[in-house]
Structure 1
Amino acid sequence: MPGAELIIQNKNGQLQQPMIEGDIVWETTRSGAASSLTFTVVKDDTLNFHEGNPVSFRFNGSNVFYGYVFKKSRSDNRLIKVTAYDQLRYFKNKDTISYTNKTYAEVLKMLAADYGLKVGTVADTKYKIPQRIEEGTLFDMLGNASDLTIINTGKVYVLYDDFGKLCLKPYESLLLPLYIDEDTAQGYSYTSSIDSDVYNRIKLAWDNDETGVREVHVMNNTASQSKWGTLQYYEKLDNALNTADLQTKAKALMNYYNVIHRELTMQKVFGDVRARAGTSVCVGMGLGDINIKNYMCIEKAKHTFSNGLYTMDLYLSGIRGEFSA
């Protein structure tokens, strides 16, 4: 495809630009997964690469993807289908860690250092997480740190690999000057739901060691309860908070969870390499129960570079509250 530059570096340091058969597909996900690049190369006498070799992809001079070959498959001797992932693939590793009074950003830097991963721009997430003992994947550990930061500050941060360097940036810094409506996509699908991660009663509890009593703080939103019934969020706190801190935490949780969860998928939009998961685009759509003219976060993006045609499928949602008329 014109403008596409895909390079594989083998173990000898040789840079190879193979002939590509068919599409190049780049996929990104906002959380819990690495971005991937899939493509099919034509085998010849000079092409030589193996699992673990670096892969870079640029389009019209812009950096798009840098990662490593993880899978090769073939159904004949001429074509090899390749799947490469960026550094976030290594966050599927399982481990156990403990830490005290570290921010989300500090936990990310600690794990990156443990696994020899390269780090780029990492924002100061400020909130110090109390003592934690974690066991699971590194994605699980960072997801917990992200959730605790959101709950206690209301701020959302986006973790992604920027052409070979791990970055952590505030959601609001990733707004793109792109406008999408019915005319810029070949199709769309839309769903709204209160079935998952929607709450209008917040219940926080902790055990008072001095009195031996479990103390409870409850916050209700009666307006949405009258429409949806009572949907309760419950959390047992490790440490007691004073009344003001409890109210602040409960309010942050209510603001985050007390909204209808809406999802919008835009199909075959004209491609733009800036539109990766975690960034936001402005959407203008009439969807029956709601009219949107606002920024929407890209939860997943699938970019397809085909012969002379570059399109993307965008899976959009509100990070809580942005999906509004």
Structure 2
Amino acid sequence: MSSITLQVQTTGPAPGRATQTVITDYATTAREIELITERFDTPGSLTFTCLEDSGVAIPEGSSVEFSVEGVKMFKGYIFTAERNKDGEVSYTARDQLRYLKANASYLFQNMTLPQIIGQIAADFGLKVGAMEDTGYAFPYLDKENEGCLDIIFDALAQTIVQTGKIYNFYDNCGELCLTEAKNMFITTLLGDKSLVTDYTYKRDIDSNTYNRVKLVRKNKNSGRTDAYIHEDSDTIKKWGLLQYYDEVDENLNEAQIDEMCRQYLQYYNRVLQTLSLDSIGIPGLRAGMIIPVRIGAVDGLAVSRLMIAEKVTHTFEGDEHDHTMSIEVKDFGQLGGINIV
């Protein structure tokens, strides 16, 4: 049994006043609750189902806060409501990242990722929390009519490549935060005889593996396109040619592009390993966190290893709100050097 609070704040007309604010705890009435966080590109979401006497009781835009065992896990706003013929209404709330799906144009010069996030957040009236200094400033970043969330995550990916450090951008219960992954961790071991009830392990070079990286830059002086290529002949012989192609900012110099090309190959030239775990729920665990995993039957995991959670789904079911979760982790070899001790 899990102790939860699911508070919904609604605002509406009141006799003799313009509006009134009402806070209702839906913990005892919510039949199913699901909380999903992902490390890249996707707002956090909380979905819960209630039995309503008539209509839809919670209006769009209402604030939702969710806690488990006293641990705050989500703050967001109602975006959708679906009602069936039996009176069951499924509500879905999204966190602040949802508002960053709007398109905009920006030109950033000599600005770090925290500064970029801060400027965009201010333009959209979003609340910002702790932002760790990455130590890398973009010489020139020009974005024209792109989604703000895409702009930020593209800058995040480039920052990871340039610094060699893994950072997470996320909404921490109502505050936009940027944190180095090594500072987000749990010490509870997941795996053999420890919380995990089932798992699926997959290896592939089909979805996100490249053994040649080709980056191109428009050359204003010559009118041609300059190409920069790094490749691994050994894996090309084994797997065939798998090419990553992208156009980079024309203001980057040759050394910067060549280094970016090298680091992209280093990252993508591998067999992608994916592990999906089903386990008993841990309050507070979210995507981006480092978790220790040990599963004897999986190559490379017979000894406990630190892994990063790409996607975490918490599920609460039944009258007792039984708490389970599923976790997806990838790229076992990408966390070398992370020490959480």
Shorter-normalised TM-score: what interval? Answer: 0.7 to 0.9
Q: CA deviation at 1:37?
A: 1.2
**Is 1:202 matched up with 2:213?**
yes
| Counterpart for residue 65 of structure 1 | 74
* More deviation, 226-235/110-119: 226-235
Could you tell me the percent identity over the aligned residues? 30
SS at match of 1:91: helix
Alignment of 1:50-199 (within 5 A): 50-76=59-85, 79-129=88-138, 130-183=140-193, 184-199=195-210
1:57 CA displacement = 1.0
* 8 Å CA contact retained: 1:64, 1:273: yes
Paired AA for residue 155 in structure 1 = K
Contact 1:175 1:295 in 2 (8 A): no
Q: How big is the shift at 1:8?
A: 1.0
Query: Which residue of 2 is the match for residue 17 of structure 1?
Result: 25
My pick for the range that moved more, 11-20 or 216-225, is 216-225
Q: Which residue of 1 aligns with 2:308?
A: 297
TM-score scaled by length of structure 2: 0.83
Does residue 274 in structure 1 map to residue 284 in structure 2?
yes
Q: Deviations over 1:60-100 (max 9, x none)?
A: 11111111111222225754322111111112222333333
CA contact (8 A) 1:190 1:287 kept: no
Task: Let me know the Cα RMSD of the aligned residues.
Answer: 2.7
* SS of residue paired to 1:14: strand
* Counterpart contact for 2:69–2:283, Cα < 8 Å: no
Stretch deviating more after TM superposition (30-39 or 170-179): 170-179
Letter in 2 for 1:220: E
Q: How big is each residue's C-alpha offset from its partner over 1:48-68, in whole Å with a ceiling of 9 and x where there is no partner? A: 642111111111111111111
Distance 1:224 1:287, change over 3 A: farther
Q: Which runs of 5+ in 2 are unaligned?
A: 12-19, 337-341
Gaps of 5+ in 1: none
Distance 1:148 1:22, change over 3 A: same
Distance 1:16-1:97 versus aligned 2 partners, 3 A rule: same
Structure 1 residues 123 and 319, CA gap change in structure 2 (3 angstroms): farther
Q: CA deviation at 1:158?
A: 0.8
Structure 1 residue 109: Cα displacement = 1.0
The CA deviation at 1:106 is: 1.6
Q: Classify 1:211/1:141 alpha carbon distance in 2 versus 1 (closer, same or farther; 3 Å).
A: closer
Distance 1:29 1:207, change over 3 A: closer
Q: What is the CA–CA distance in structure 1 between the aligned matches of 2:229 and 2:83, rounded to whole Å? A: 58
Question: How many residues get paired?
Answer: 320
8 Å Cα contact 1:259/1:321 also seen in 2: no
State the Cα distance separating 1:194 from its structure 2 match: 1.3
Stretch moving more, 271-280 or 1-10: 1-10
- Tell me the SS of whatever aligns to 1:178: coil
| Counterpart AA for 1:234 | Y
For the residues of structure 1 that align with 2:152 and 2:287, how far apart are their CA atoms?
17
What does residue 32 of structure 1 align with? 41
Quick one: which of 250, 253, 256 aligns to 1:241?
253
In structure 2, the CA distance between the partners of 1:213 and 1:168, relative to structure 1 (3 Å rule), is same
Question: Is the Cα contact below 8 Å between 2:77 and 2:93 reproduced in 1?
Answer: yes
Contact kept, 8 Å, 1:295 with 1:322, in 2: the verdict is yes
The answer to whether the Cα contact below 8 Å between 1:294 and 1:322 also exists between their aligned partners in 2 is no
